Amino acid sequence: MKQFCVAALLCAVYFGVPRAAAAQPPSVLRWGGDAEGGAPFVEADPNDPRHVVGFDVEVATILAHGLGREPQFVQAGFTSLEASAARGDFDIGLSGIEDTPARRARLAVTIPYYEFRERVTVRKADADRFRSLADLRGRRVATLGATLAYDLLLNAQADDGLVPVTYEDDVHPYSDLALGRVDAVLLDQVLADRGVKRNPSLMNLEKDAGIGHYVGVLAASNGALRDRIDDILRTAMRDGRLESIFRRWGMWNQDQPRLYARLSANQPAPPTGSTAATVDPWTAARRYAPAMLRATLITLALSCVAMLLAVAVGAAIAAGRVYGRPIVRFALTAYVEVVRGTPLLLQLFVIYFGVAAIIDLPAFAAALLGLGLNYAAYESEIYRGALEAVPVGQLEAAQALGLGRWQTLWLVRGPQAFRFALAPMTNDFVALLKDSSLVSVITVVELTKQTSIFAANIGSWVVPGAMCAALYLVLSLPLAHAARRIERSWRT
Amino acid sequence: MSVLSVRRLAIERGGRAIVRDLDFSVGSGELVALMGASGSGKTSVLRAIARLDRSAGGQIELQGRVGFVFQFHHLFANMSALANVAVAPVHVLGRSRQEAEVRARVLLTSLGVGDRAEAYPHELSGGEAQRVAIARALAMDPPILLMDEPTASLDPARRGDLAATLIRLAADGRTILMATHDEDFVGACRARVVTIK
C-alpha cells in the first residue's frame, strides 16, 4: 500500500503538475537586467531598495502589460545577460543591451527601442590634443567588454594603434580617466553623460564615433513572443509612451523620432557601427590564439611574482607570530584575520580604486600587491603550523649547542618546516593561479578575462572554455608534478 | 680540580618537588653516573645543568657550556652527520666551514662512524646516531659532556662498545656525567656513582 502511494505521488509530480501549469497562461513576464548597471538603466530604488527603477524597468512594464502579465525582475550580470536569455533564465533581457549582427544571429532580438551615439570622453585639459579616436594612437582607451564600443576600439586598435582597456563596470573607466590611468573612454552617450556629470574634469567630444541601438533579447526559440513584443513596442512608439519614459529620464533627443518613424513604418533601423560578424569557432580560435597565449603569460608572471611576495611576507608573519613580542603577535594575528575574513575581490578594489587618490598604483602592480598580500596571510598560517610541528627536541638540541634563536630558525627549524609546508604551498600556488582571474576587475586582462572577451564576441563558451582550461592545466600540472618529485626525494 | 659543582639543587615539576638538596661535584677527566629510580629526577638534573630548564633553588657552578647527548639523540633531521657535527663550530664558535668539517671528520672517525659522514639521521642505526650525537657535542670542546640514558636504544653488544668509548674519552681528559639506571653499564664504565634519592 505504501509503495502504491509513493508511485501515485511520483506520477502526480511527473505528469499532473506540468500539465496543470501548462494549462494556464503565464501570469508574469520574467525580465532580466543588471541592477549594478545603475540609473538610468536599472538600479535599486534609493527609497525602497527592494524595487528597481530605470527606463528599462518602465519599458519592461509596458511590455508585460501589453502581454496581459505583470513584470517580474530577475537579476543577472550584464556580461551574462545574453547567455542567461539563451538558457531561458528569463523571458527577455533588457538592460541597455546593444544590437549587433552576432547577437541577432544567436538570439531572438526585438526591434530597437532607443538609438544612442558612441561618445569619446577625454580630460578637459586634453581637449585640444584629442579630437577623435584617430588622435589617440598608442594611448589607453577604456570601455566595457562585449559592447559596440569595444568592437569600435578593436577596429581602431588595428587602424590607429590605440590600446583598448576593458572594465567590468561603467563608473571606474571615468574615475580612472580623471586620475590619468587611461587617456580616453569610449562608451555610449548615456554612460558618457553620466560619467562627465560625476567627474567635472572630463568632457565628451562633439563628434560621435558610431551609432547603436538598445534592444531586448530572447532565446532563439522564443520568436513568437519576440514578434508580439515588437508589436507592443511599435504601439508604444506611436502612442508616445516610450517618448514619455525617455523624457522622464532626460534621454529624449532628435534621434528617437526618426528611429520610431522608420520602425513604425516597418522599415529597418539604420545600420550600427558594429562590425562583429559571426565566425565559426575554429576560425575564431585561431584568431584569438595569440591573445590567449599573451594572457597566459600574464597569468603566469602575475602568479609567480605574487607567490614569491606571498612566501616572503608569509614567512616573515609566521616568524613574527612564533617568536615576536605580544604586541607584534597581536598585530600580525589581526592582519591575518582581516585579510582572511574579507574577500580578495574587495581587497583588489580597495588597493586599486579605493586608495587611488593617495597611491596611484598601475593595475599590474596593484594586482601583484593584492594577490601577494592576500596569499601571504594564508601562507603565514601554513608556515606557522609547520614551524610548530618541528619536534621540540630539535630546538633543544640547537639550544644546547649554543645556536641563537634566529640561527636555529634559519639552520634547523625553517628548513624542516619547509618540508612540512611544501604540499600545502603547492596547493596554494595552484589556487593562486586560478584566483589570479579576479584581477580582471582592475583592468588586467589575464587568461580568464581574455577567455570571457573571446566567448562574448563569438557567443559561445565551448571553444574558449576548452582552450582556457587546457592552458590552466598546462600551467598547473607540471607544478604539481615537480612538487611531488621534491617530496618523494625528501622522503627517501 | 672540579669542573662541575652542584650545591643544594632543588627541582620542581608541576609545583611538586622532585629533587631536593642535591650536592655533588665532578672533577676534570672523571666519569660519573647519576643514578636513581625511574622518576627520581636524573634527566631533570642534567637539563638544569645544561640550562634547558630552570631549577627551583641551589647553585650550579660550571665553566662554559656543556655538551649534551640526548636520550633520543635529536640529530638535526635536515642535515647529514657531518653537517650535524660541523654546524655549531661554524655558527657559534665562528670557525671556517672547511676547518669545522675537517675536525668533524676526525671526531666521527675516532668514534667509529667516519664512513657514515654523508648519511642523514634517518639512515643511521641507533648506535651510529648516538656516536654522531657524541661527536656533535664534543665538537664544541665542552668542559663536560652530559649524557641522558646513553644505553636506552642500544643492544648489549653496542653497550659494551659505548662503555669502551666512554672510558677512552675519559682517559683522553674528557669529563662525563651520565644519567642512567643501567648498573651493569655503570660497572663496565667503571664510573663513580652519585645517587639521587
Q: What is the pLDDT of residue A279?
A: 61
What pLDDT, on a 0 to 100 scale, did the predictor assign at position A20?
41
For residue A93, the model assigns a pLDDT of: 94
CATH superfamily, domain at A115-212: Periplasmic binding protein-like II (3.40.190.10)
Q: Determine the angle formed by the axes of helices B81-91 and B126-138, rounding to 10 degrees.
A: 20
Interchain contact, B78 vs A400, CB within 8 Å: no
- pLDDT, average across residues A350-370: 85
Cell of A76: 543577472
Using alpha carbons only, what angle is made at residue B146 by residues B192 and B133, rounded to the nearest 5 degrees? 125
Instruction: State which amino acid sits at residue B23.
Output: D
* Cα–Cα dist A241/A62, whole Å: 8
- pLDDT tens sequence across A362-395: 888 999 999 999 999 999 999 999 999 999 999 9
Q: Are A52 and A42 in contact (CB under 8 A)?
A: yes
Query: Predicted confidence band at A14 (pLDDT cuts at 50, 70, 90)?
Result: very low
* Low pLDDT (below 50) residues in chain B: none
Q: DSSP letter string over B39-108?
A: TSSHHHHHHHHTTSS--SEEEEEESSPPEEE-TT----TTS-HHHHHHHHHHHTS---HHHHHHHHHHHH
A434 touches chain B (CB under 8 A): no
In this predicted model, what pLDDT tens digit does every residue of A197-221 receive, in sequence order?
Answer: 989 999 999 888 888 999 999 999 9
Q: Does A83 or A404 have the greater pLDDT score?
A: A404
Quick one: cell of A144? 566595457
Residue A274, pLDDT above cutoff 70: no
Residues 6+ apart with CB under 8 A from B13: B44
Query: Domain limits of chain A?
Result: 2-113+214-264, 115-212, 281-491
Please state which CATH number belongs to domain A2-113+214-264. 3.40.190.10
Strands A43-45 and A48-53: antiparallel
User: What length is written for chain A?
Assistant: 492
What mean pLDDT value characterizes chain A?
86
Mean pLDDT of A43-62: 87
Helix (H, G, I), strand (E, B) or coil at B177: strand
Mention every residue, 6+ apart, whose C-beta is less than 8 A from residue B4: B25, B26, B49, B60, B61, B62, B143, B144, B175, B177
Confidence of residue A278 (pLDDT cuts 50, 70, 90): low
Report percent pLDDT > 70 for chain A.
91
Residue A13 has pLDDT above 80, yes or no: no
Which residue in B65, B72, B91 is closest to A407 by CB distance?
A: B91
- What pLDDT is attached to residue A59? 95
8 Å CB contact between A451 and A467: yes
The rounded distance, in Å, linking the Cα atoms of A452 and A341 is: 28
Of B150, B183, B143, whose CA–CA distance to B166 is shortest? Answer: B150
- Does pTM top 0.90 for this prediction? no
Rounded Cα–Cα distance for residues A359 and A177 (Å):
15
Q: What single string gives the DSSP state of each residue in A366-435?
A: HHHHHHHHHHHHHHHHHHHHHHHHS-HHHHHHHHHHT--HHHHIIIIIHHHHHHHHHHHHHHHHHHHHHH
Report the relative pairing of strands A211-218 and B2-13 from DSSP bridges: unpaired
Task: Give pLDDT, residue A474.
Answer: 92
Q: What average pLDDT does range A453-475 have in this prediction?
A: 83
Query: Parallel, antiparallel, or unpaired for β A140-144 and A184-188?
Result: parallel
On the 0-12 / 13-18 / 19+ scale of CB atoms within 10 A, B118 is exposed
Strands of the sheet with B57-62, listed across from one edge: B16-27, B2-13, B57-62
Residue A24 has what pLDDT? Answer: 63
At residue A18, the pLDDT reads 42
Three-state DSSP state, A154: helix
pLDDT of A272 reads 61
List of chain A residues whose C-beta atoms are within 8 Å of the C-beta of residue B68: 397, 400
Does the pLDDT at position A30 exceed 90? yes
Q: How close, in Å, is residue A406 to chain B by CA atoms?
A: 11
**Can you tell me the distance from the alpha carbon of A225 to that of A261, in angstroms, rounded to the nearest whole number?**
23
Cβ contacts of B23 within 8 Å, gap of 6 or more: B6, B7, B8, B9
> In the CATH scheme, what is the homologous superfamily, with its name and number, of domain A281-491?
MetI-like (1.10.3720.10)
Which among B66, B68, B88 has the least Cβ separation from residue A403?
B88
Name the H helices within B111-155. Answer: 126-138
Fold agreement (A2-113+214-264, A115-212): yes
- pLDDT mean over A2-29: 52
**Strand partners of residue B145:** B67, B176
Q: How far is B104 from chain A (nearest CA, A)?
A: 15
User: Parallel, antiparallel, or unpaired: how do β-strands A92-98 and B67-69 relate?
Assistant: unpaired
Torsion of CA A2, A4, A7, A9, to 10 degrees: -70
Contacts of B103 (CB under 8 A, 6+ apart): B86, B89, B95, B139
- Taking the Cβ of residue A290 and every Cβ of chain B, the question of whether any pair is shorter than 8 Å is answered with no
Q: Which of A401, A403, A409 to mutate to test the interface with B (most CBs of B within 10 A)?
A: A401
Per-residue pLDDT, averaged over A101-105, amounts to: 83
Residue whose C-alpha cell reads 643544594 in the numeric block = B8
Q: Is B138 in contact with B86 (CB distance < 8 Å)?
A: no
Are B73 and B148 spatial neighbours (Cβ–Cβ below 8 Å)? no
CB contact under 8 A, A402 and B72: no
For position A311, what pLDDT does the model report? 95
Q: What is the CA radius of gyration of chain B?
A: 16
The region of weakest confidence among A67-71, A219-223, A311-315, B18-22 is B18-22
Residues of B with CB under 8 A from a CB of A: 50, 52, 65-68, 70, 72, 74-78, 87-88, 91-92, 136-137, 140
**ipTM above 0.90 for this complex:** yes
pLDDT given at position A492: 53
Helix (H/G/I), strand (E/B), else coil: A365: helix
A86 pLDDT more than 50? yes
Contacts of B52 in chain A (CB under 8 A): 396, 399-400
Q: What residue spans define the domains of chain B?
A: 1-66+142-197, 77-141
Residue A210 Rama label (left phi>0; alpha psi -120 to 50; beta): left
**Could you identify the residue written with the cell 635529536?**
B74
Q: What is the pLDDT of residue A329?
A: 95
Confidence of residue A357 (pLDDT cuts 50, 70, 90): confident
Output the pLDDT for position A355. Answer: 79
User: Does A394 contact B74 at a Cβ distance shorter than 8 Å?
Assistant: yes
How confident is the model over A183-190, as a mean pLDDT? 92
Neighbours of B157 (CB within 10 A): 9
**Lowest mean pLDDT segment, chosen from A5-19, A103-117, A149-163, A424-438:** A5-19
Q: How many other CB atoms are found less than 10 A from the CB of residue A374?
A: 23
Helix H or strand E segment including A157: helix A148-160
Using alpha carbons, list the distances in angstroms from residue A120 to A14, A52, B55, B155, B186.
56, 29, 81, 88, 95
User: Shortest Cα distance from A452 to chain B (angstroms)?
Assistant: 47
CATH of B1-66+142-197 among 3.40.50.300, 3.30.300.30, 3.60.150.10, 1.20.1290.10:
3.40.50.300
pLDDT single digits (tens) A107-163: 999 999 999 999 999 999 998 888 888 888 889 999 987 788 888 888 888 777 888
Query: What is the three-class DSSP state of A444?
Result: coil
Whole-angstrom Cα distance, residue A476 to residue A433?
Answer: 8
The pLDDT of residue A157: 81
Distance, in Å, from the CA atom of A157 to the CA atom of B111, rounded to the nearest integer, reads 77
